[in-house]
Structure 1
Amino acid sequence: MRGQHMKKSVGKLFYASALAGSALSAALVPGMALADTSAIAAAPAADAMGDAGLAAIVVTAEKRQTDLQDTPIAIAVMNADDLRNRHILSLEDLGDGSIPSLRIAPFFSRKSALTLGIRGVGALGDANQPARDQGVGVYVDGVYMGRAQGLGAALFDVEQIEVLKGPQGTLFGRNTEGGAVSIVTRKPSGASHMNATAGVSNYGGYEGVVHLDLPSFHNISVKLDGLVQRRGGTVDNPMSGEADFNSYDRRGLHVAVKWEPTSTFTALYSFDTSYDATTPYYLQLLSKGSLALAPILKLQPDRAKTANVGVPLQESVGKTWGHQLNLDWEVADNLTLRSISSYRDLTQSQYDNGATVLSVFSPNANFSRYSLANFDQYQYSQEFQAIGELADITYVAGLFYYHEHVSDDAWSPNTLKFNADGTAYTVLPSPTASTIFPDRASTATTDNLSAFGQFTWSPAALDNRFHLTMGGRYSHDKKKGELTKVNGATPTVNGVTGDVPMAFKSDRFDPLVTLAYDVSRHINVYGKWSTGYKAGGANSRSLTYRSFGPESVSSFEIGSKMDLLDNMVRLNLAAYTTKYKNVQIDFNAVTPGVNRTTLETVNVDGSGRIKGFEADLTVAPATGLTLTASYALTDIRLPQAHNPFIAGNPLVTVYPVYVPKHSSSGAIDYSLPVAGDAKILAHLDANFASRQYSSASDPTLNDRTFLVNGRLSLADIDLGRDNAKLRVSLWARNLLDNQFVFLRNYSAALGTYAIYNEPRTFGGEVNVQF
């Protein structure tokens, strides 16, 4: 019964507290209705209530299709309608807090790399490290994405995004100690269909998206996806002919070919290529430090519309492409074999001249540090899965292999020159620095081999209402690499000059045990214990390529999933406590007047503790009306760590990065029929997070965040032929134009500097489907 009606966990303990707090402080979780696809049943968010109440949501968190309410994992799901309603074009847009437990932020001012955290685990201070991994795994159609670079590229035709919370060390495994983000795209349908959207927005933005399904021919189906997204900067750069700050230019093409020679075998090949060009966020100086500040570099305590100094600025360009082959063979009614093969390639140039305000004044001195960096990676992976059933047991077993090679180099020249009194400047004829290019360079190669298995036993003797799940994953990680340049020269460590090697090996077993019970057909409770880990490595910003070890988590979770009041109300609750060991923490040293930032990554002695509570509520009180709410409490305590940049390496306080204690999200979706099949669709969502840190070694807090997004559409307008439908929409992000600092740091020498959120963006679009 676990395969058909696999319901799980929680306790009456939480049922009472949930109803008491089910107003959820305006918390509202993003739409829990499901995308329409051959693999997953359809149910748009605004139409979630039918004759039988809220529609079922199918997820793939256990490597098989299961009902969300039957799956004993805390999961947040956003389908295609949810993404469209919030105008989410890339993973970066989920940084608005639409999923409270998931935090997404850029790497400092760079939009070219994203850092992700779930439940307080995973976010990196420095995402630009070839020999360092994130603690949240991102998967696209089952393929692990190895780098933070490339994650900001435009999303193709997404069916749904599943955020699997807590360690997913068994079935997903690699670097999923915080959880996993699984992106599922639409597959070829074999029927002729086109879905095209064109839109414009403020800041000179426009987009065009086409999804084309071709009719099946000799059991072969083809689907093509193409997109273009462009927007100018939101902060003007006063230098003529140069790019503005916070712009993007994205393009992409995706081709999928599905071959179904029999009813029991499917081969799906896909190819994708993306171009993602961005300019950095603008860094503002909020207060002055002890060092001299040029008169031309003025304080800007509110969100700037124009930079106070014009700078040379070009786009950081990311190019990704990859091949994937998925094979599914239904050997028997109770056994399916699956293979997932992939090869991916990534190049990312990074040009960041957004931190001019951190320049220390000296008469006639060069200033305006321009960070020029290149990042290159290729990866290939192979996964085999066996998915089956035996009497009262369902199981998944598999093997996984992953290989990647990464190289990076960087240079930090100056581009401008002060006059004698700092009231004006000139542009240097070419970037200059005290060292030659590259200032630093390194390479890293990673191999990971894993074997995993998980089974669920639902004994008939207990009417299939009790479910015991046990699983485990053995992982062997191996890394090797070299630091080849430091300060523009071959490094010298302990008096020896030459490339500095790095080698890391680790064997790890991550278990999982879950007990779940179906209290009734619509109320399920569970308790789960699981572990996860993130591999060690070395930091290429370190002068000695100093290595660090792996970190790990061990988590206990209890939860419940409930469909109440004839499926008009869905309430999911989870509470957890996590032991966080050997946390990898960054310490940095910035020397005024010297462009290179030195960074060391160390493992914290001892263990941290994270305690949390999450509640997701969906209510369909009337036909066409859906209310959703979500709340997350994340209470994290980390032990002190030895700071290698302070004499004597004293213990200092460590601050969790991008972990608000309270976060919530809520949405209202309404569908109103107007004439024929046409209807008005209205969406409004609000997202809140309390203050949080953006540096592990800086006690300066960011602002509270509050964002409102909205969309209004006239949909399903009959165009009179071939079932063609028209939808016209208006949308807005940050509808109230609220301003807040999402990154704030303080230096006694330099002062307080910060990056503000984007101003209000809005636009209109036309969609045609036939």
Structure 2
Amino acid sequence: MVRAGLLAGASLAASVILPTLAHAESDAAPADAAAPSTEAPAAPGAGLTEIVVTATKRETNLQKTPISMNVISAAVMKDRHVQSLLDLADGAIPSLRVATFEARQTALTIGIRGIVPLDANQPAREQGVGIYVDGVYLGRQHGLNAALFDVERVEVLKGPQGTLFGRNTEGGALSIVTKAPSGKFDGRVSGGVGNYGSYNGEVHLDLPEYKNISIKLDGVVQYQDATTKNPLAGQYGWNYYDRRGGRVAVRWKPTSNITDDFTYDVGRDANTPFYSQLLNYNPNGCVAGAVTASCSIPGTAFTTLSGTVASLPSQVVVNGRTRMTVADIGVPQQPSVDKTFGFANTLKWKVAPFMELRAITAWRGVTSAQWDNSGGAHRVPVYSANGAFSRYSLANLTQHQFSQELQAVGSVSNFDYAAGFFYFEESASDNAATPNSNTWTTDANGNVTGYTINSAVFTNPFASIDRASAVKSKSYAGYGQVTWSPVPAWHFTVGGRYTHDTKHGELLTFRNTFNGNTLDKSWDRFNPMATIAWDATSDLHFYGKYSTGYRAGGASSRSPTYRNFDPESVRSFEIGMKSDFWDHRARFNLAGYIMDRKNSQVDFNAVYPDPNTGTNVNVLETVNAAGTTKIRGVEADLTLKPVEGLTLTGSYAYTYTKIPPVVNPFTGITQNVYVVFTPRNAASASADYEHPIGSAGTAVRLHLDANYSQSTQTFDQFATHNDASFVVNGRLSLADIPVASGGQKFTVGIWARNLLNTDYVYRRDPSNSLPAFGTGTTGSIKGVLGDYGNFNAPRTFGVDATVRF
């Protein structure tokens, strides 16, 4: 924290000293890092408009930026009724994959181009796609599904971004840009209601500038009742959420060439997981005796199977076709709660026409309390007379981070440059317990008559700690990137980033016993990149890019030995084309890439005898795969405006992945493993139509989108697939109705997500339908039950209204 304190002090001192020095620069350009493209936006009705992005740390035209990326605007988010990042799981951007962690909705798995960590919820494990809010890196994926505050756009940068964005951006980066204070009085109030008792509301107030200070206030609330009901009275059902948050943004402009932005945000997300249904019963036909091809575990050498597959109690429902609206077994369950907060200060000083200096200082934190009883009777242990069941997964995580970034961005002659220094430190800790919440009751003949609730889950649920760990991480980096344009049509870019990472962690407890295994490692990486871009015409652009990235190493807190694993790294070769044609009524972008990943971090999960106690325990080991993981892909995006008022879009992503076979750490046997949540083919299409009514600017607007994803694996070690998905969303609104002479306008609309109410299993787990470890080469089938999985959200719909003033 000493370095953190010094850097924080330097940033705060700069915010006081720089304004004084800057009076001498009164003739300097405005504070923006670089002026937007000189290409003027298309006039209304003339075609598609320019999209401005900041992927290169400066404002540039999307079509002239040699990076494969998509932009989700505020209007698109409104049309799709996107309230949180989880709503992008429908496949709006085919190469972006979003899935909720089974135990709760706020811990999201986010992947781009086949870089999809399955379990980044551990304190000593990193994500593979960097998440940024206004330039501030978020170290944990906990709390990511909290409400979004007045987002201007979301930039989805595809492919390694290791030079400008840093470690843990192997697959890309998600850069969320919020609306800054304007200094002019403005505001809007929105509210809506929908099925499942849902409601949402937003207040956004922009206050007029006073003495060079502008203030913007944002407040958000989002609520939905459970979509699968819990039969146990007084307990929460599944797929419930209650999100609330507020944000204050203050902009100070003491001179024309200095801008200082301070923000504070706080959020609370209470939610329950999607229900885990029992999809089938003993689907592999497991019986005692010799191992069969269907009843075997990949990576094991079982020769015989022992035990008996237990029969199902009559209370248990098997349903692999449709989403259940009422669970078959009532269980104790309360909402998981994530609380987030953050302070950030971004200081920009246009010190000269050729340079802007920036200081981005941020403190953030998240606390997460998990109360997940999603599986009911479908989770181990399975039925036994008067036996306990229903694994109640409880966990707590606390994380705090500090980051400081100093940047210099500008242009000199035909050179554009960006350079900086980055410091990040994080402390995180967690603990977990998994008591069984229910007990079967039987008669004298062993027949199930019902079940009771274990009172211990209410009185002392953390009586036995499965695991507890703590870790401190630090990262230091220096980077630079320069683009040389010797002639207007050619652009040559080179860049590099040096990173030094350290992690110090300890597994404090495992199975309620002091453990003491540690993680004490450091890593150094240099990530280069190079790009050649050619503007064939003002509307046709080509580029070739070499880029690299890496994900830091760590340790598995679900491992009894706190198994350490090393970083993984990616190098990517990409070619792309960006084009506008048909008098700017059509836009077509195409990219193809080859990515090679070394030391892939692969997860293995097993119910395995605990070496300390001899009892069975659910263990997750993470290992580095030898050899090269191959990821190949093609991405295409098409936008058309064939007639006035109609806009059509289409996107497609093809992704091929192949990990070399990996030695199973439990058995020492080599087996096939897979990249999760990465469909081979995925596509999305949308249509937007606007028709004016009268002369006051009022219009009818219609939006429809359809999204398809091929089935894919959901666990590294199993070939089992989830279901293919097809989701349609829509919105119809009457917009910009004048309501007063002061320019106030009113918009009302109806919306629907999953309009066709399609059912598909997005997460399928076969671990409960396969043998567990017995003794020697004998597998045990006494715990076999069936596959269980999570269905997507049902159709939701509602009406909302917005008043702008």
Query: Do both share a fold (TM > 0.5)?
Result: yes
Paired position in structure 2 for 1:337 = 357
2:473 is the counterpart of 1:453: no
What is the deviation of 1:596? 4.3
Aligned partners of 2:621 and 2:665 also within 8 Å: yes
What is the deviation of 1:298? 2.1
What is the deviation of 1:295? 2.6
Aligned partners of 1:714 and 1:727 also within 8 Å: yes
Paired position in structure 1 for 2:135 = 142
Match 1:104 to one of 84, 95, 98: 98
2:497 is the counterpart of 1:473: yes
Question: 367-376 or 429-438, which moves further after superposition?
Answer: 429-438
Aligned partners of 1:412 and 1:596 also within 8 Å: no
Alpha-carbon distance in 1 for matches of 2:397, 2:710: 34
Alpha-carbon distance in 1 for matches of 2:746, 2:693: 14
Structure 1 residues 580-601: Cα deviation after superposition (integer angstroms, max 9, x where no partner): 1110000011259978421100
2:618 is the counterpart of 1:597: yes
Aligned partners of 1:440 and 1:541 also within 8 Å: yes
The amino acid that maps onto 1:373 is A
Alpha-carbon distance in 2 for matches of 1:40, 1:539: 46
Alpha-carbon distance in 1 for matches of 2:489, 2:98: 38
Match 2:79 to one of 80, 85, 90: 85
Paired position in structure 1 for 2:60 = 66
Alpha-carbon distance in 1 for matches of 2:425, 2:713: 34
Alpha-carbon distance in 1 for matches of 2:329, 2:437: 12
CA separation of 1:281 and 1:40: change in aligned 2, threshold 3 A: farther
Aligned partners of 1:49 and 1:625 also within 8 Å: no
Structure 1 residues 641-693: Cα deviation after superposition (integer angstroms, max 9, x where no partner): 111122xx111101110000000111101110012321101100000000111
What is the deviation of 1:608? 1.1
Q: What residue ranges of structure 1 are gaps of 5+ in the alignment?
A: 1-36, 492-498
Aligned partners of 2:45 and 2:644 also within 8 Å: no
Structure 1 residues 392-448: Cα deviation after superposition (integer angstroms, max 9, x where no partner): 110000000000000000000011110122341011222299993322100011100
Paired position in structure 2 for 1:9 = none
Match 1:229 to one of 205, 219, 222: 222
Superposed, 1:358-373 pairs within 5 Å as 358-359=379-380, 360-373=382-395
The amino acid that maps onto 1:750 is L
Superposed, 1:492-571 pairs within 5 Å as 499-571=516-588
- Count of residue correspondences: 717
Superposed, 1:181-580 pairs within 5 Å as 181-289=174-282, 290=286, 291-292=309-310, 293-301=312-320, 302-356=322-376, 357-359=378-380, 360-420=382-442, 421-431=447-457, 436-459=463-486, 463-491=487-515, 499-580=516-597
Paired position in structure 2 for 1:707 = 727
Alpha-carbon distance in 1 for matches of 2:737, 2:253: 35
Classify the secondary structure of the residue corresponding to 2:641: strand
2:664 is the counterpart of 1:664: no
Paired position in structure 2 for 1:30 = none
Match 1:757 to one of 792, 798, 805: 792
Alpha-carbon distance in 2 for matches of 1:744, 1:237: 21
Q: What residue ranges of structure 2 are gaps of 5+ in the alignment?
A: 1-31, 287-308, 771-783
Alpha-carbon distance in 2 for matches of 1:174, 1:723: 47
2:139 is the counterpart of 1:162: no
The amino acid that maps onto 1:456 is T
Structure 1 residues 247-287: Cα deviation after superposition (integer angstroms, max 9, x where no partner): 10000000000000111000110000000010011001111
Classify the secondary structure of the residue corresponding to 2:163: coil
Aligned partners of 1:435 and 1:487 also within 8 Å: no
The amino acid that maps onto 1:578 is M
Match 1:690 to one of 700, 710, 719: 710
The amino acid that maps onto 2:60 is T
Question: 138-147 or 51-60, which moves further after superposition?
Answer: 51-60
Structure 1 residues 473-503: Cα deviation after superposition (integer angstroms, max 9, x where no partner): 0000000110000001112xxxxxxx11111
Classify the secondary structure of the residue corresponding to 1:737: coil
Classify the secondary structure of the residue corresponding to 1:238: coil
Aligned partners of 2:36 and 2:60 also within 8 Å: no
TM-score, normalising length from structure 2?
0.87
Structure 1 residues 78-111: Cα deviation after superposition (integer angstroms, max 9, x where no partner): 1000000000001111111001110011112421
Superposed, 1:638-653 pairs within 5 Å as 638-646=659-667, 649-653=668-672
Alpha-carbon distance in 1 for matches of 2:313, 2:621: 31
Structure 1 residues 104-146: Cα deviation after superposition (integer angstroms, max 9, x where no partner): 111124213001110001x222232100001100000000011
Higher relative contact order (CA 8 A, sep 6+): 1
Paired position in structure 2 for 1:12 = none
Paired position in structure 2 for 1:27 = none
Alpha-carbon distance in 2 for matches of 1:39, 1:189: 19
Aligned partners of 2:406 and 2:422 also within 8 Å: yes
Aligned partners of 1:190 and 1:215 also within 8 Å: yes
What is the deviation of 1:48? 8.3
Q: Could you tell me the percent identity over the aligned residues?
A: 50
2:722 is the counterpart of 1:722: no
Classify the secondary structure of the residue corresponding to 1:426: strand
Aligned partners of 1:267 and 1:328 also within 8 Å: yes
Classify the secondary structure of the residue corresponding to 2:797: strand
Classify the secondary structure of the residue corresponding to 1:81: helix
Aligned partners of 1:457 and 1:468 also within 8 Å: yes
The amino acid that maps onto 1:169 is G
CA separation of 1:479 and 1:103: change in aligned 2, threshold 3 A: same
Paired position in structure 1 for 2:291 = none
CA separation of 1:102 and 1:60: change in aligned 2, threshold 3 A: same
